[in-house]
């Protein structure tokens, strides 16, 4: 846990963010990519799993999408979009597995790919573009 907190602090120092940079002390793009917000006192608390941190950030700081359908570049329905945040989306695949999708690259990140024992989607690692 301390390792992740150290990484978050290092990121903030390198990026020049501070607690005065809006309500979170972190850029919108960084929040959407999984960086934990910075508290007013300069501290930051990260979820124990980076996938959970990013999914939570997308849901909290992004825009709800009402479970709209997501289609890949081949026209296949690949899931239901719950929330979007910058270029990231929280999506439920056709089998009910929640994944994070990077909209510009089509990259699919299952919880199980970063946290052993958690669900892994049957979607390909990269969806054909463009996603819509």
Same domain, 69 and 41: no
Domain that holds residue 110: 62-114
User: Tens of pLDDT along 49-103?
Assistant: 999 999 999 999 999 999 999 999 999 999 999 999 999 999 999 999 999 999 9
Q: Which residue has the higher pLDDT, 65 or 4?
A: 65
Percent of the chain with pLDDT over 70: 83
Same domain, 66 and 42: no
Q: Which residue has the higher pLDDT, 20 or 51?
A: 51
Closest C-alpha among 78, 83, 94 to residue 54? 83
Residue 2 has pLDDT above 60, yes or no: no
Residue 8 half-sphere exposure, CB side, CA atoms within 13 Å? 29
Predicted pLDDT of residue 22? 54
Same domain, 39 and 67: no
User: Tens of pLDDT along 102-125?
Assistant: 999 999 999 999 999 999 999 999
User: What does the radius of gyration of the chain's CA atoms come to, in whole angstroms?
Assistant: 15
What whole-number distance in Å separates Cα of residue 7 and Cα of residue 107?
23
When divided into structural domains, the chain yields a total of: 2
Q: What is the signed CA dihedral for 31, 36, 41, 43, rounded to 10 degrees?
A: -150
Same domain, 39 and 66: no
């Amino acid at each position: 846990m301390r390792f992740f907190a150290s990484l978050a602090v290092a990121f903030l120092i390198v990026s020049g963010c501070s607690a005065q940079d809006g309500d979170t002390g972190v850029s919108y793009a960084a929040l959407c990519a999984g960086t934990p917000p910075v508290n007013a006192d300069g501290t930051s608390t990260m979820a124990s799993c980076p996938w959970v941190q990013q999914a939570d950030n997308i849901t909290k700081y992004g825009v709800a999408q009402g479970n709209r359908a997501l289609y890949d570049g081949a026209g296949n329905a690949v899931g239901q979009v719950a929330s979007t945040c910058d270029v990231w989306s929280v999506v439920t695949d056709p089998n009910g597995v929640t994944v994070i999708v990077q909209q510009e690259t089509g990259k699919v990140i299952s919880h199980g790919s970063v946290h052993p024992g958690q669900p892994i989607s049957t979607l390909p690692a990269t969806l054909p573009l463009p996603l819509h």
